[in-house]
Amino acid sequence: MKALVYRGPGKRSWDEKPKPKLQERTDAIVRIVKTTICGTDLHIMKGDVPTVTDGRTLGHEGTGIIEAAGEGVTNFRSGDKVLISCITSCGKCDFCRKGMYSHCEPGGWILGNRIDGTQAEYVRIPFADTSLYHIVEGADFEALTMLSDIFPTGFECGVLNGQVKPGETIAIVGAGPIGLATLMTSQFYSPAEIIMIDMDQNRLEVSKKFGATKVINNSDGKAIEKVMEITGGKGVDAAIEAVGIPASFDTCQEIVAPGGRIANIGVHGKSVSLRLEKLWAHNITLTTRLVDTVTTPMLLKTVLSGKLQPKQLITHRFQISEIMKAYDTFGNAAKENALKVMLTNE
């Protein structure tokens, strides 16, 4: 079969690899139907994720059809249509029993990281019973592929941890796929004001279509002043960080209102400075989280009912054999006006 293989920092290839086989009784082999590329894959390509080694098939998002299931798999059989979670969970360890699948002892984020991932014609999924979700007849594979990672991430790490409430004023710093998924799912809770901050004017225009009430282009570095102006000097109830750099974390620290929450989503490679000399007296809450994908069943229902329309984030479509080109497009997101690129394995 063919797979997108990481060959060390800056190097990747679309290569022939052996088709994966069942290794444990709880494994399933899935034939990929749709997959996509994540911002985290670009972090990996830069060499920022040391657990990813030369020869690894990348990808942690996708939908497909079960090709084979181990004898210990009771919930799925071959031919079933499935959504693959970016987080693998055994369902049995202490962390899984707390609903914290991200820290599952034998699982967690392993796909396209410690084991071969979904940017291939086939993938092996460990603990299939608790790491896959059924796709019902007639449901849209492309829409559901958005639920492997970005929607649970925006919702769990941003909206739930940010405790967004009706009538509140919130700000989302970063209007990439994750920031936009946060914007869309925050509206389950009807905040009164949603301020989106980015430097990419196209992404801000998209944000307006998806429900942002105010957008701020931070190219001039004046986002903080503008948020304070909009909020009459008070700041926002929830400041959600969806970039992963010190500057965007600083924006959140400066704009959070007394009693507010800073919900960090971004993957940070560098240390940030916490302004405790100001924040200690402000009754704020700061949260961090690796997505657990514990809300996937709920998000699936909102997509099936049409309440949530994640397909709107797909801007480009390719055959999986064109994945090298798809990486170039996604890697030049600002120039290409790219959000999510959808890859089809026919």
Ligand X SMILES: NC(=O)c1ccc[n+]([C@@H]2O[C@H](COP(=O)([O-])OP(=O)(O)OC[C@H]3O[C@@H](n4cnc5c(N)ncnc54)[C@H](O)[C@@H]3O)[C@@H](O)[C@H]2O)c1
Radius of gyration of the chain (CA): 20
Residue 253 is a binding residue for ligand X (CB under 6 A): no
Q: Which does 218 bind (CB under 5 to 8 A by kind): Zn ion, ligand X, none?
A: ligand X
Could you say which of 49, 173, 238, 314 contacts ligand X (CB under 6 A)? Answer: 173
Asked if 265 is part of the footprint of ligand X (rule: CB under 6 A), the reply reads yes
The verdict on 144 binding Zn ion (CB under 5 A) reads no
* Torsions phi, psi for 262 (to 5 deg): -110, 120
Which one of the spans 44-52, 67-75, 142-150, 256-264 is the region binding Zn ion (CB under 5 A)?
A: 142-150
Choose the stretch contacting ligand X; rule: CB under 6 A; options: 28-36, 61-69, 265-273, 304-312. 265-273
Least CB distance from residue 130 to Zn ion, whole Å? 8
Q: How far is the CB of 233 from Zn ion (least distance, A)?
A: 37
Distances (CA, A) of 269 to 35, 40, 245: 26, 12, 8
Contacts 24+ apart (CB under 8 A), 206-209: 206/175, 206/180, 206/339, 207/175, 207/179, 207/180, 207/183
CB of 166 to ligand X, least distance (A): 25
Contact partner, 199, from Zn ion, ligand X, none, Cβ < 5-8 Å per class: ligand X
Three-point CA angle 183, 186, 192, nearest 5°: 95
Residue whose entry in the numeric block shows the structure tokens 């054999």: 321
Is 48 a residue that touches ligand X (CB under 6 A)? Answer: no
Size of the site for ligand X (CB under 6 A): 33
| Minimum distance from residue 121 beta carbon to ligand X (Å) | 24
- Ranges within 138-157 binding ligand X (CB under 6 A): 149, 153, 157
Residue 228 beta carbon to Zn ion: minimum distance, rounded to whole angstroms: 33
Extended strands (E) in the chain: 2-6, 12-16, 28-36, 62-69, 81-84, 122-125, 132-134, 169-173, 193-198, 214-217, 236-241, 256-264, 285-287, 314-319, 340-344
249 close to 272: Cβ distance less than 8 angstroms:
yes
Taking the C-alpha atoms of residue 114 and residue 32, their distance in angstroms, rounded to an integer, is: 19
State which residue has the least CB distance to ligand X.
Answer: 176
Query: Should residue 104 be labelled a site residue for Zn ion when binding is judged by CB under 5 A?
Result: yes
Please report, to the nearest 10 degrees, the dihedral formed by the alpha carbons of residues 142, 144, 150, 152 taken in order. Answer: 170
By CB under 6 A, name the binding residues for ligand X.
39-40, 43, 149, 153, 157, 173-179, 197-200, 203, 218, 242-245, 247-248, 251, 265-267, 289-291, 333
By CB under 5 A, name the binding residues for Zn ion.
38, 40, 90, 93, 96, 104, 149
